[in-house]
Each structure stands twice: as C-alpha cells, then as structure tokens.
Structure 1
Amino acid sequence: MSHFLLNFCVVFSLLIIAQVCALQEDYFWREYTGSIPEDAVVGGNDINGNDVYIGQAYVKNEGLVVVQIYPGVKEVYAPMKGIKKVDAYIKILCGPRENFYWRPVNSSNLHLSLINKRAVVGGHEDGMGQIGIGRVSHEGEIKIGKVNSFSPESAYFYFNDKGTERLLLSCEMLLYRNGSLNVTGN
C-alpha cells in the first residue's frame, strides 16, 4: 500500500507542476548585451523612426525598474527617485510579439481598467511591490517607463526625459494575451 501511495504522490506532484508550468506566461526577460534578440518586444519608435525596446535594469537598493533600450547602446537610464544610469544587470523583454498589446490607462482608474486583463510585470520596487510597463508619445517619440501599479492612489507613469524623471497621470500600459488563458476574449 505504501508503494502505491508513494507512486500516487509522485504522479500527483508531477501533474501539479505541469499545471503550474502551463499557467506561466511565455514571455521572458533576456540578458541585454547591446544586441537586440530576434524575439525582443518593440515598445515603439524614437524620433528618427528607429525601434526602441522594453528593458529592465537593476538599481541597487531600489529594485528592478522598467527602462527604454536603444539598439547598440549598452547603458540605460532608470526613472527611480531621479534618473539612474545603469550599465550592468540589464534585461530585454522577449516573447511572441503578437500576444502583447497596449491599453490606455490613467492613475485614477488603473486598477479598474485592468480587471480581467493580464498586465506584463515590468519589475518591482523594493519594499513597495510590482511595477507595470507604460509608454507615452512625447516630443515626437515613444518613451518607455514604469507604472507604479502597486499603489492604487498613486499609480503614476514615470519615464526618462533627457536626464530628468517625468511623471504623468496617464499612459498606455503593456498587457499580454495568452490564447490558452485569455479571460477577456481579446
């Protein structure tokens, strides 16, 4: 009987692990070295019409912050209590591009507008919570930044504007649709 119980527990555990793995999104963060991977997610275009990409950078004692990546440039500028230059521990968002989409949001209705939606997690602020990925059109180009989605009363969008951290009340937020998990029909 104990042999049967052991086998049952092993099989049951494997089934649970398989189910959990099936629930994981099929996007991921890849180490960024200056080269753009083929499956990198385009966030928009710069003022010259070149693609810009969605990045994530580690800022010591602050967290993993959403940043904008320009092809071939190995440093990024993180909007985190001012602008922090980061040249190590940078990742780039990769995955099936057709599953990503942008949704207009603002700080007063962010949490309501995300009901039954899957926001892409852009990182976290230490001691605060997860942050989302946002973008705006600013002075002729797309700016990628962080949305403080952990705070219902101050879910603002922060981005780097020529070395200055800017805050906006509205932006577009990156969401993800997964055919097997789609709860919205999008």
Structure 2
Amino acid sequence: MSLTYLLLIFLKLLTVGSDKWDCADYYWRDYHGVIPDDAIPAGKDTHGNTLYIGLAYIRGYELLPGTILPDEKVARTTAYAYVFNTKDNVKILCSPYPEAFEWISTESKDLHKYQNYNLIPGGSEVGENLHIGRVFRDNNVIIGKIFKHERTNRGIWFPLNNKPANSLSYQILNYNCSSANPKIDPRVKIE
C-alpha cells in the first residue's frame, strides 16, 4: 500500500470523527423512471419489489418526500388534503454508502431526542422543514414527511388509499457517520 493511499484513508477517518455533517455523503439525482445503481432502498412492497426514497417538487406545495414506485415510475406524496403521483420534478436519494443509512423507530413525542442525529432533511411544506420517515401499512413500506417542529402537524404524514394518513409511531431516516465505510474509487490512480 502506498503512503498516499494510507494518508487518504486517515484523512477520511478524521473527517468522520468531527462535525456531525462532515461525513454525510449522499446526494439527490434526477429521477426519470430509471433507478440508479447507488439509489438508497426504502423497503419492499407487498410483492417484494424494492421501493425508493424520493423528493418531489409540487408547484404550490413545495418540495415533499415520497415513495418512488419503480413499477409505476412515479413518486407518491401528500400535501394538505391531497395525494400526488408525479413523474415530473422528482429526485431520488443516492449514496456510495448505503450501510450508513438507518431507520430509527420512534414516537412523535420523542422526536426532540434526535436533534443531535444526522436526520435526513426531506424538503419543506408551508415554510416548515421536513424530515424523511416511513411507516408499514398493508405489507407495504410508505415514505412520508415529518415536520421538523411538530407544533400542529404531529407525527408522520403519508399517502394511504389515495388519502393523506397520519401516525404518531414511525421510523425516521438517519445517516450514521460511524457506519460509512470509506471506499477508494478504483479508477483513481494513487502513486
């Protein structure tokens, strides 16, 4: 192993140990019906198909987290009293470190306990920042929105049977820096 290679690994490990967001390595890719190789899975549907985490911009409703349904090539999300299925203006969550993502089971009343975690931001609605969460209903995983400051919109809001639904128990998406394993791109020549 070359000295440069060891130095790169050492520098990456130092980064993981500092500020909580220094290690976060994820990004949102445009989604046009094709699932990228580095997309982060959200879970499975009733047929065992993998579903994914998306962000959809809905004009007049802002940027909302939703479930990407690869078979339908849409993102499903909620805003106010509506459910939206959209193919337009959709992003899909991707990362070279899928092992760093974890779903934390919690209750709405305990959300404040996770303020020092790397909870994944999930857009905004009515000027309020959102987190990404999921619930399990009818043998399906469903991505939903969790308002960062739960003053009036408590719990997770998600689409169920073409209507918005709410639950005070859910899982919230976190990026665990200590689980991200640094990888060296094999295309990069280190001398």
Taking structure 1 as the reference length, the TM-score comes to 0.78
Aligned length: 160
SS of match in other structure, 2:117 = coil
1:92 aligns to what? 92
Structure 1: stretches of 5+ with no match in the other structure: 1-18, 182-186
2:104 aligns to what? 103
Shift of 1:102: 0.6
With 55-64 and 152-161 compared, the bigger mean Cα shift is at 152-161
1:39 is aligned with what amino acid? D
8 A contact 1:121–1:132 mirrored in 2:
yes
Task: Describe the shift of the 1:164–1:24 C-alpha distance in structure 2 as closer, same or farther (beyond 3 A).
Answer: same
Percent identity of equivalent pairs = 32
Task: Describe the shift of the 1:71–1:84 C-alpha distance in structure 2 as closer, same or farther (beyond 3 A).
Answer: closer
What is the distance in 1 between the residues matched to 2:47 and 2:76?
19
Q: Is 1:119 equivalent to 2:128 in the alignment?
A: no
Taking structure 2 as the reference length, the TM-score comes to 0.76
Task: Describe the shift of the 1:74–1:50 C-alpha distance in structure 2 as closer, same or farther (beyond 3 A).
Answer: closer
Q: Is 1:156 equivalent to 2:155 in the alignment?
A: yes
8 A contact 1:108–1:153 mirrored in 2:
no
What is the distance in 2 between the residues matched to 1:91 and 1:100?
17
Shift of 1:148: 1.3
What is the distance in 2 between the residues matched to 1:136 and 1:122?
15
Any residues of structure 2 matched to 1:7-156 within 5 Å, and which? 23=22, 25-81=24-80, 82-95=82-95, 96-112=97-113, 114-127=114-127, 129-152=128-151, 154-156=153-155
With 28-37 and 142-151 compared, the bigger mean Cα shift is at 142-151
What is the distance in 1 between the residues matched to 2:154 and 2:131?
9
The runs of at least 4 aligned residues of structure 1 exceeding 3 Å deviation read: 152-155
Q: Is 1:174 equivalent to 2:150 in the alignment?
A: no
> RMSD across aligned C-alpha pairs, in angstroms?
2.2
Shift of 1:153: 5.4
Shift of 1:101: 0.1
SS of match in other structure, 1:150 = coil
What is the distance in 1 between the residues matched to 2:27 and 2:49?
23
What is the distance in 1 between the residues matched to 2:152 and 2:162?
26
